[in-house]
Amino acid sequence: MRKLARVAMYGAALALCVGCGSAASRAASTAPPVQRTVPAATPRPGAIDRLTRIAQARYNREADGVTAHRKLNRAAADPNLLAALRRNDLPALRAAAHFEQIGTHQHISCLRVVRGSRVLAQFGGSFCVRPAHRALTDGHGHVLATMEVSIQDVIGFVRYMHRHYPVQVVVRGQRPGQLLASVRAAARTTLPDSGNVTVGGHRYAVKSFPEVAMGPEPIKVWVLARP
């Protein structure tokens, strides 16, 4: 009898536990879902600073790198160009400068010959990165003019950075039409010197730096990076 009583008590306890479990399951199924707050994404610390340094280094390389100076030195040694300068023969000078800009296939984006503030010859695009320059002399130390050579236009710089790094780039000059952007919406957006900005529905960290284009023309470069 005692054994039967223990079995009965065990069965009753088991039934109670099963009932409790079913009630708990029903309560869980009818409870409202837990709402979790997801923090807003923020840029990785230091990422925008690093990418801006890369953009600055690339611009300087295009302007003052070995390739720019090699092409400048070659063009500045053109005997026809130097002879035209000595004679002050501007048509011949322009013909020689034009040949150096496109005829030699040296990928010179912009070439200028200037004397003081006067431009004697200019060929290539209208918005090029800061040029390398060299004095043109008569062989006796007398400076006849200065040659400026840029091996990259600004749109090429913008495309290079956007293609090789996870950034959007905007460059604004002072003259009308001197504005290039790797994303169209950024061209219509007022950008802070640094901080955060929303462009085309996307949030970006942004940082800028001043530079000089051919002319010389002061420009500003903005680098935008998504988190």
| Share of residues in the chain with pLDDT > 70 (%) | 80
| Model confidence pLDDT, tens digit, residues 190-202 | 999 999 999 999 9
Chosen domain end from 112, 135, 150: 150
Chosen domain end from 150, 165, 195: 150
Q: Does one domain contain both 77 and 143?
A: yes
Task: For residue 69, tell me if it sits in a domain.
Answer: yes
pTM of the full predicted structure?
0.76
Q: Which residue's structure tokens are 């006067």?
A: 118
Q: Does one domain contain both 75 and 121?
A: yes
Task: For residue 200, tell me if it sits in a domain.
Answer: yes
Task: For residue 204, tell me if it sits in a domain.
Answer: yes
Q: Does pLDDT of 170 surpass 80?
A: yes
Q: Does one domain contain both 194 and 145?
A: no
pLDDT of residue 35: 34
Chosen domain end from 150, 175, 190: 150
Task: For residue 108, tell me if it sits in a domain.
Answer: yes
Residue 146: band (very low, low, confident or very high) from pLDDT cuts 50, 70, 90: very high
Q: Rounded to the nearest 5 degrees, what angle is found at the Cα of 124, between the Cα atoms of 118 and 145?
A: 30
How far is 132 from 112, CA to CA, in rounded Å? 11
Q: In what order do the strands lie in the sheet with 168-172?
A: 179-181, 168-172, 217-225, 202-213, 194-199
Task: For residue 140, tell me if it sits in a domain.
Answer: yes
Q: Which domain holds residue 163?
A: 154-225
Task: For residue 45, tell me if it sits in a domain.
Answer: no
Q: Does one domain contain both 72 and 145?
A: yes
Closest alpha carbon to 153 in 126, 134, 120: 126
Q: What is the 8-class DSSP label of residue 193? A: S
Q: The dihedral of CA 98, 58, 130, 78: what is its sign?
A: negative
State the total domains in the chain: 2
Token code pair at residue 97: 């400068």
Task: For residue 130, tell me if it sits in a domain.
Answer: yes
pLDDT of residue 41: 41
Task: For residue 170, tell me if it sits in a domain.
Answer: yes
Which residues in 87-126 are b (16+ Cβ under 10 Å) and which e? eeeeeebbbbbeebbeeeebebbbbbbbeeeeebbbbbeb
pLDDT of residue 2: 43
Residue 19: band (very low, low, confident or very high) from pLDDT cuts 50, 70, 90: very low
Residue 111's domain is classified under what CATH number? Answer: 3.30.450.20
Q: Does one domain contain both 169 and 141?
A: no
Q: In what order do the strands lie in the sheet with 132-137?
A: 118-124, 110-115, 143-150, 132-137
